[in-house]
């Protein structure tokens, strides 16, 4: 009987350790979380959803030439209206943490737009640097700068 209780206690300990390990695995590292937000931005572009793009931006977002959050959403909406087919293909994303709640992600992107033909009408490769801030447990895009690479 004593051996049964020891086995039962051991099984409970092992179960608790497994649950703790699974909980730790489920929580994404800051680098993974930023990469996930970059992917969410690409998905919003692919879905042509200016509202989803705006939802990923910090309230004090700043882009090229002083673009604010509202202007970024308007630019996205205008591009979506101009081009029936939009594409954004990302290169490898490098993430650099800066303190507890800030990060920088750098990557290249091939942006294409077209009218639905076999080949895009326009295309450009950009070098992109984005700044991210942790806001209420969610990474928000604080800044973005992009320069043509071709």
Domains and CATH numbers, the chain: 29-148 (3.10.450.50)
Question: Would you give per-residue pLDDT tens digits along the chain (150 residues)?
Answer: 555 444 455 444 444 333 333 344 446 899 999 999 999 999 999 899 999 999 999 999 999 999 999 999 999 999 888 887 888 889 999 999 998 899 999 999 998 876 655 445 678 899 999 999 999 999 999 999 999 986
The encoded tokens of residue 88 equal 């954004």
- Contact between 63 and 74 under an 8 Å Cβ cutoff? The reply is no
- Contact between 123 and 138 under an 8 Å Cβ cutoff? The reply is no
- Contact between 106 and 128 under an 8 Å Cβ cutoff? The reply is yes
pLDDT confidence of residue 3: 55
The pTM assigned to this predicted structure is 0.76
50 phi, psi to nearest 5 deg: -65, -30
- Contact between 73 and 59 under an 8 Å Cβ cutoff? The reply is no
129 phi, psi to nearest 5 deg: -125, 125
List, as one string, the DSSP characters of 93-105: PEEEE-SSSEEEE
Residue written as token pair 């200016």: 50
């Amino acid at each position: 009987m004593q051996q049964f209780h020891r086995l039962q206690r051991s099984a409970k300990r092992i179960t608790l350790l497994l649950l703790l390990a699974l909980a730790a695995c489920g929580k994404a590292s800051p680098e993974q979380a930023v990469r996930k937000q970059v992917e969410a931005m690409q998905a919003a572009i692919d879905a042509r959803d200016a509202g989803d793009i705006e939802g990923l931006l910090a309230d004090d977002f700043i882009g090229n030439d002083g673009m604010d959050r509202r202007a970024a959403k308007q630019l996205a909406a205008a591009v979506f209206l101009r081009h029936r087919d939009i594409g954004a293909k990302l290169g490898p994303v490098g993430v650099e943490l800066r303190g507890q709640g800030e990060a920088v992600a750098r990557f290249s992107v091939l942006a294409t737009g077209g009218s639905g033909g076999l080949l895009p009408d326009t295309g450009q490769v950009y070098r992109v640097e984005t700044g991210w801030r942790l806001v209420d447990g969610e990474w928000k895009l604080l800044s973005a700068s992009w320069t043509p690479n071709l």
